[in-house]
Amino acid sequence: MTVPSAVVVNPSKVLDLGELRQTVNALLAEAGWPEPAWYETTVADPGRGQARKAVESGARVVFACGGDGTVRSCVSELAGTEVALAVLPTGTGNLLAANLGLDHDLIGGVEVALAGGMRRIDVGAVDGECFAVMAGMGFDAQMLAATKETTKARIGWPAYVFGAMRHLRDRPMRVSIRIDDQPPLRRRARTVLIANVGRLKGGLRLLRDAEPDDGAFDVAVLTPRTLGHWATLAWAVARRRRRVPRMEVFRARRIQVTSNRAQPRQLDGDVIAPGRVLRAEMRPEALWLCVPRPSSSPDLADSA
C-alpha cells in the first residue's frame, strides 16, 4: 500500500543526517512507500510548523525524529487530525518512545509504522500545547532542568539520576489541587504528575493502572520529605508494588494544580516556562499513534 509520509527531524540530535535519510528512505522504498518529505526543526520552531507543512502536503504518517521536544511538538500539531504519528527516537529522554518499547531504535520505529498497527490515544492539553505521556510540576521538572545535555549525551538516561540527586532535599511546595469539579485538595508535595500512560525511563511503570485511551488522567501526588521517604518510594516503584508509599493517585479529566510559588513545569519530559499553575484538560482519542500492535493493553509496549 502506498502511504505518503514525512519526517520531522531535529538535526542537532542526529549524528549523520545524510545516513539517516538514506536508511529511512531505503526502508520505506523496500515496503513500497514513496520517498518521504523531510523537514528540519529549528530553535525558533521545534516541530509544530514542520508537522503542519507535512499535513498540508498530504502526509498520512509523520515520523518525529528527535528528542522529547520534537515529538511533543508533533503531537501538538497532529492531535485532532487523521494523520498518524510514528516515533523515531534519537534524543536521550524519549518518554513516548519508552512507552512504545522503542528506546533509540530508529529501524524499529520505521518497522512499527510499516506494520500498520495504529491506535487512537488520548492527549492532554496545557496552554495550547499537548502531551501524550505526562505533565508535571515540581521535582520532576527540576530534575529535567538540572540534567546537563553533555551528561545525557555521554551516559544516556542515567544522567537524570544526577539531576535528581541535586534536588532531593529541596523544600516541598504547598499546592491546591482541583480535580474536575470537586473541592480543591491541599497538600505539601514534592511533585504532581498528570499522566496519560505510566512508564518512566528505565522501563519503570510508576502508574500501573494508567491507560492511554481511557479518557482520564492518572494524577500522582508525591509527598516524600526525607531521603528515607525517597528510598522507600523508589524501592516500591522498582519492585512494581501496587501501593507506593508517599504517593497518592487520583483520576481526572480536568485538573488544576496551583502552587504557593512559581515552580518548574514539564510536558512529556520537555521543560516549559515555570509557573504557579499547571492546568490540564483531557482530549480523548485525539491522536493516531503507530504502535507495535493495536492491542487494548494499558501498556503500549506490551507487543514491542
Q: Which three cell numbers stand for residue 246?
A: 508517599
Q: What is the pLDDT of residues 23-66, one digit of tens each?
A: 999 999 999 999 999 999 999 999 999 999 999 999 999 999 99
The pLDDT score that the predictor gives to residue 304 is 40
Query: What is the model's pLDDT at position 271?
Result: 93
pLDDT confidence of residue 259: 98
Mean pLDDT along residues 116-135 = 95
Q: Which of 84-93, 139-148, 219-228, 291-300 has the highest mean pLDDT?
A: 219-228
Set of cell numbers at residue 202: 528505565
Q: 165 falls in which pLDDT band (50, 70, 90)?
A: confident
pLDDT digits (tens, 9 = 90+) for 222-257: 999 999 999 999 999 988 898 999 999 999 999 999
CB 8 within 8 A of CB 74: yes
Cα gap 296→213, rounded to integer Å: 9
Percent of the chain with pLDDT over 90: 70
DSSP 9: E
Q: What does pTM read for this prediction?
A: 0.91
DSSP 8-state symbol, 292:
S
At residue 233, φ and ψ (nearest 5 deg) are -65, -50
The 10s digit of each residue's pLDDT in 61-79 is 999 999 889 999 999 999 9
Neighbours of 192 (CB within 10 A): 28
* pLDDT score of 261 more than 80: yes
